[in-house]
Structure 1
Amino acid sequence: MDVIFPCLDEAEALPWVLGRLPRAFRPIVVDNGSVDGSAGIARSLGAVVVSEPHRGFGAACHRGLSAATAEVVCFCDCDASLDPRQLPLVAGPVLSGAADLVLGRRRPVIRGAWPLPARLANWELARRIRCRTGVRVRDLGPMRAARREELLQLRLADRRCGYALEMLVRAADAGWRVREVEVDYRPRIGRSKVTGTFRGYWQAVRDMKSVLAR
């Protein structure tokens, strides 16, 4: 299986993340314009490294999806907030045919891992998705798994912070079986590019509102 890691200046976290990846998973690190040597570090640790010059979380994810070759692909943040050793829990239902899209529902294991404003925003988005699609989700988990060809057929268009949300909404509209499994959630290494700045947080809110409006 291939695991897509969108990456922007995650040099400090990469050794921990890639060092905990199970052998059955091939890492594809998508460098989204890092200036801290992330690409070189990932390459030295055995990852496949591809470049996506167009800045944006969705752009990096979709570039990784295009570069992947495995039948089942996973997505995982590259900041050490999620443990790659738990990827088999997420990929398992897709591999067995029990689900079409599996989301890792985050469970904080350390106090302060998930700041209250971010958690409330996630809760509200999940509520809106439940109302919009009828799919009973409680988290827009960034650790997820699905079949590559089916994902490409969804024709995801968002290239910013709304990519993960659009994936879920389009999958629900297509009648996919969506399932959640619990995964551990820890404080990230380094500052978030989204919630770490007011501009990043506001852009993420705008992107996701745009997806729901469409």
Structure 2
Amino acid sequence: MIDVILPCLNEAEALPWVLDRMPAGYRPLVVDNASTDGSARVAADHGAVVVAAPARGFGSACHAGLLAARSEVVCVMDADASLDPAELPRLVAALDVLEAAGEPAPGATGSGAGAAGRPGLVLGRRRPAGRGAWPPHARVGNAVLARSLNRRAGTRLRDLGPMRAARRSGLLALDLRDRRFGYPLEMVLRAADAGWRIGEVDVTYRPRTGRSKVTGTVGGTARAVRDMRRVLTEVAS
């Protein structure tokens, strides 16, 4: 069984589609970040484990889900129906290949690595499908941050994708501190600093269901970029 962490703030409209498409062997953990639209009830009605994260913040919800997860490998993805959980097995398969490649990194023992190689982190590189799936302002913000991250960490990422797969013990060992929108970038930055192998797999990115709180609005994108830039500065210092 693989636990799938689904940070959730008012996604009652999107959750049925997401949960109905969860692959066999993948257990959804819907982390309710103080929703006011009945998201927790909808999630429970569709068979998901509901985890409460009353302190608002994307990183806060992700961390609560990580603590609640029990599987060796965990996935993280948005709960707004922009990403298809049916693609999760491709990320997990890529994680196995990534970790098995090459020799273990110095000091990697016990940090969540597969037996044959370094710890791995696989991100879903978003491929927009449908009008409005990825607004221009969100693409520009993502590209700027990806370039800054690549310069800082020596990575070659083209997207800070919100669909991810990694080992739970490794993520906990990274000791991620951000509890806002800087959490996804901090994960990649600290993983790179720890010598992890980091890869990308193309995934389809659809127009989200319901009202956007981040990438669909200029203000939301600006907040996310600000939080991520702050993390770049803090981790580098």
Q: TM-score range by the shorter chain?
A: over 0.9
1:93, distance to aligned residue in structure 2 (A): 2.1
User: Are 1:121 and 2:122 matched, yes or no?
Assistant: no
Q: Is the 1:140–1:165 Cα contact (8 Å) retained in structure 2?
A: yes
Q: Is the 1:94–1:147 Cα contact (8 Å) retained in structure 2?
A: no
5+ residue gaps, structure 1: none
Question: Which residue in 2 is equivalent to 1:39?
Answer: 40
5+ residue gaps, structure 2: 101-118
User: Are 1:67 and 2:68 matched, yes or no?
Assistant: yes
> Which AA in structure 1 matches 2:131?
R
1:204, distance to aligned residue in structure 2 (A): 1.4
> Which AA in structure 2 matches 1:178?
I
Question: Which residue in 2 is equivalent to 1:173?
Answer: 193
> Which AA in structure 2 matches 1:20?
R
Q: Percent identity?
A: 64
> Which SS does the other structure have where 1:111 is aligned?
coil
1:209, distance to aligned residue in structure 2 (A): 0.9
Q: Name which of structure 1's ranges 163-172 and 96-105 shifts more when overlaid on structure 2.
A: 96-105
User: Are 1:8 and 2:9 matched, yes or no?
Assistant: yes
1:197, distance to aligned residue in structure 2 (A): 4.5
User: Are 1:83 and 2:84 matched, yes or no?
Assistant: yes
Distance in 2 (alpha carbons) for counterparts of 1:197 and 1:134: 30
> Which SS does the other structure have where 1:175 is aligned?
coil
Q: TM-score, normalised by structure 1?
A: 0.97
Q: Is the 1:72–1:95 Cα contact (8 Å) retained in structure 2?
A: no
- Structure 1 stretches of at least 4 aligned residues deviating more than 4 Å after TM superposition: 196-199
Q: For 2:215, which of 181, 192, 195 is the aligned residue? A: 195
1:110, distance to aligned residue in structure 2 (A): 1.4
What is the RMSD of the two structures over their aligned residues, measured on CA atoms? 1.2
Q: Name which of structure 1's ranges 201-210 and 49-58 shifts more when overlaid on structure 2.
A: 201-210
Distance in 2 (alpha carbons) for counterparts of 1:200 and 1:185: 18
Distance in 1 (alpha carbons) for counterparts of 2:212 and 2:233: 26
Question: Which residue in 1 is equivalent to 2:174?
Answer: 154
Distance in 2 (alpha carbons) for counterparts of 1:196 and 1:85: 23
Distance in 1 (alpha carbons) for counterparts of 2:33 and 2:126: 25
1:203, distance to aligned residue in structure 2 (A): 2.2
1:199, distance to aligned residue in structure 2 (A): 4.3
> Which AA in structure 2 matches 1:195?
T
1:195, distance to aligned residue in structure 2 (A): 3.3
Q: Is the 2:14–2:209 Cα contact (8 Å) retained in structure 1?
A: yes
Distance in 1 (alpha carbons) for counterparts of 2:154 and 2:135: 27
Larger radius of gyration: 2
Cα-to-partner distance string for 1:30-54 (whole Å, 9 max, x where unaligned): 0001111100110011100010010
Distance in 1 (alpha carbons) for counterparts of 2:28 and 2:122: 19
1:196, distance to aligned residue in structure 2 (A): 4.2
Q: Name which of structure 1's ranges 139-148 and 84-93 shifts more when overlaid on structure 2.
A: 84-93
Q: Is the 2:141–2:221 Cα contact (8 Å) retained in structure 1?
A: no
> Which AA in structure 2 matches 1:113?
A
Distance in 2 (alpha carbons) for counterparts of 1:149 and 1:95: 15
1:201, distance to aligned residue in structure 2 (A): 3.0
Q: TM-score, normalised by structure 2?
A: 0.87
> Which AA in structure 2 matches 1:108?
P
User: Are 1:142 and 2:178 matched, yes or no?
Assistant: no
Distance in 1 (alpha carbons) for counterparts of 2:29 and 2:96: 19
1:111, distance to aligned residue in structure 2 (A): 2.9
Size of the alignment, in residue pairs?
214
